Structure 1
Amino acid sequence: MKPLPEIRLMSTRPALDARPLDKRVGLIILATDHTSEPDFRRMVASERIGIYVARIPYANPTTPENLRKMQPALTDGAALILPDEPLDAVCYSCTSASVVIGDAEIETAIHGAKPGVPVVTPPMAGVRGLRALGARRISILTPYTVETSRPMAAYFTERGFEIASFTCLGFEDDREMARIAPTSLVELAREATDGKAEALFVSCTALRAALAVSGMEEAIGRPVVTSNQATAWNCLRLCGDETPRLEFGRLMTLPLPRD
């Protein structure tokens, strides 16, 4: 056996940057999620902004009861993202669960691990996006069952929106929702948008709707807000990125409104 070489310890250490990347976005997603992570890497990640992901347990079918069961895992999920280091935003990427659990409860749970961090949920970002676009009368499209869609209708109504039409597709498994082709979503948007609606909200982080936004807007002739597009926009603006990204819809050209 040849003798090992002498290992030399440098007498000086290189200077350290404050952070490897300037901004940090934490993303809490479902164990079954196929879509949120690629969407955030596509729309948010850059040489300046890093995306750091934690997955939490989730079991189909997508019912209000099963969605609510994720709440206890939110603190532990947030704690797994760069422990003991600050984040610039945390997004819990589940629209229907956010509606069922409640934005305030989600914020409290995440603050249990990451005190003071801005928390973003898809319905919260959707509301901000629709307001930024000046829309009050909206159509809503979801992939859920009627039972799971009802809390969504209540959420937007309680925040001052008039729902001109609400269409759901009846899916119970978020993994199947992720398999709906973006081209199909364009046609579904055309069918689901009421003529009097000022904008369309497409709910669900499982849907590959961000890839279809420009096609949907062209098809219906009005703005479209989707779950992942809205949270990506919200997180970008919280990180100080105001770059217009029209390929992901009109919303991606606008500033974040003050609540």
Structure 2
Amino acid sequence: MTALGFLYPGHSAEDDYPRMEQLLGSDIRLPVVHTDIGEDAHRVDALLEMGSAARLAAGVEELRLSGAEAVVWACTSGSFVYGWEGAHEQVRSLARSAGLPASSTSFAFAYAVRELGVRRVAIAATYPDDVSALFAAFLNDAGVEVVSVRASGIVTAAEVGTWGEAEVLALAREADHPDADAVLLPDTALHTASWIPALEAALSKPVLTANQVTVWEALRLTSRRVNAPELGTLFTKEPLVQA
């Protein structure tokens, strides 16, 4: 049995995780511990506080008790908002606190893009313009070319969590670009786990979503490989990225 631990901010789309656990099958568990988000706002100051070391450390002991072999901060905006170097320090601090291999959803996107051999991406973001631009800058620092950004301007994770398949598909289509090799949906508050094959079929290219890449990153940290076509192209590729 492999347990992969996730620190998830608040309550929005955490039900993606039991859904993905079911799709992965086998002997993999995905325990989720909720962190206190403070103010629910896609605003830089609120996101910096949401991703603070103290808030993350508060959930670490519960994850250790779950038997987790690795921990991923399941929040994109609460990591890339720190910038490339700051996000690295956030993960190092989390690893020290947990005594486990650690990462975040922002780095999960960077590694997943590399895993697919993708060079150019389009971003389908629920965030406001300024926060979406910070994610694009983070990807640029990771060596990924961003060819388009679609920002929906939603302020709260609570609102994002109410979106269904139609809204998610519309966002992905609006964000897609002819030069993009893949489309990225970066918000872990957005439900996507049940709709990835439909998104990829509609766009005729790989689609990476926040909760999907977060689970893939935890598997990577533990050197596990699972073929799960219902979780999209990312879960059917032969490994390119070394742990």
Deviation at 1:47, TM superposition (A): 5.8
Give the equivalent residue in structure 2 for 1:61.
Answer: 41
Give the equivalent residue in structure 2 for 1:246.
Answer: 229
**Bigger RCO (CA 8 Å, 6+ sep):** 2
Deviation at 1:82, TM superposition (A): 3.0
Q: Which runs of 4+ in 1 moved over 6 A?
A: none
One of 57, 64, 80 as aligned partner of 1:82: 64
Give the equivalent residue in structure 1 for 2:93.
Answer: 109
Superposed CA deviations along residues 6-40 of structure 1, whole A, max 9, x for unmatched, are xxxxxxxxxxxxxxxx2222111112x2213x222
Decide whether the 8 Å contact of 1:44 with 1:236 is kept in 2: no
- Specify every segment of 5 or more residues in structure 1 that has no aligned partner in the other structure, as ranges: 1-21
- Look up the SS of the partner of 1:125 in the other structure: helix
Give the whole-Å Cα distance in 1 for the aligned partners of 2:77 and 2:188.
9
One of 122, 146, 157 as aligned partner of 1:174: 157
- Specify every segment of 5 or more residues in structure 2 that has no aligned partner in the other structure, as ranges: none
Give the equivalent residue in structure 2 for 1:4.
Answer: none
Pairing 1:111-190 to 2, within 5 Å after superposition: 111-115=95-99, 117-190=100-173
Give the equivalent residue in structure 2 for 1:5.
Answer: none
Give the whole-Å Cα distance in 2 for the aligned partners of 1:96 and 1:197.
22
**Identity rate, percent:** 28
- Look up the SS of the partner of 2:146 in the other structure: strand
Give the whole-Å Cα distance in 1 for the aligned partners of 2:117 and 2:30.
30
Larger radius of gyration: 1
Name the CA shift for 1:200/1:98 in 2 (closer, same or farther; >3 Å).
same
Decide whether the 8 Å contact of 2:92 with 2:102 is kept in 1: no
The residue identity in structure 2 corresponding to 1:206 is A
1:28 and 2:7 are equivalent in the alignment: yes
Decide whether the 8 Å contact of 2:186 with 2:210 is kept in 1: yes
One of 95, 98, 106 as aligned partner of 2:76: 95
The residue identity in structure 1 corresponding to 2:241 is P
- Look up the SS of the partner of 2:162 in the other structure: coil
Deviation at 1:237, TM superposition (A): 3.8
How many corresponding residue pairs? 234
Give the whole-Å Cα distance in 1 for the aligned partners of 2:225 and 2:240.
9
- Look up the SS of the partner of 2:81 in the other structure: helix
Give the whole-Å Cα distance in 2 for the aligned partners of 1:41 and 1:170.
28
Superposed CA deviations along residues 138-187 of structure 1, whole A, max 9, x for unmatched, are 10111001122121111011111111110010000101001111222112
The residue identity in structure 2 corresponding to 1:49 is I
One of 17, 22, 41 as aligned partner of 1:40: 17
Give the whole-Å Cα distance in 2 for the aligned partners of 1:151 and 1:68.
13
Name the CA shift for 1:128/1:62 in 2 (closer, same or farther; >3 Å).
same
Decide whether the 8 Å contact of 1:76 with 1:113 is kept in 2: no
Give the whole-Å Cα distance in 2 for the aligned partners of 1:143 and 1:186.
12
Decide whether the 8 Å contact of 1:213 with 1:224 is kept in 2: yes
Decide whether the 8 Å contact of 2:20 with 2:193 is kept in 1: no
Give the TM-score taking structure 2 as reference length.
0.89
Give the whole-Å Cα distance in 2 for the aligned partners of 1:106 and 1:87.
19
More helix by share: 2
Decide whether the 8 Å contact of 1:164 with 1:197 is kept in 2: yes
Decide whether the 8 Å contact of 1:138 with 1:200 is kept in 2: yes
Give the whole-Å Cα distance in 1 for the aligned partners of 2:62 and 2:96.
12
Give the TM-score taking structure 1 as reference length.
0.83
Give the equivalent residue in structure 2 for 1:16.
Answer: none
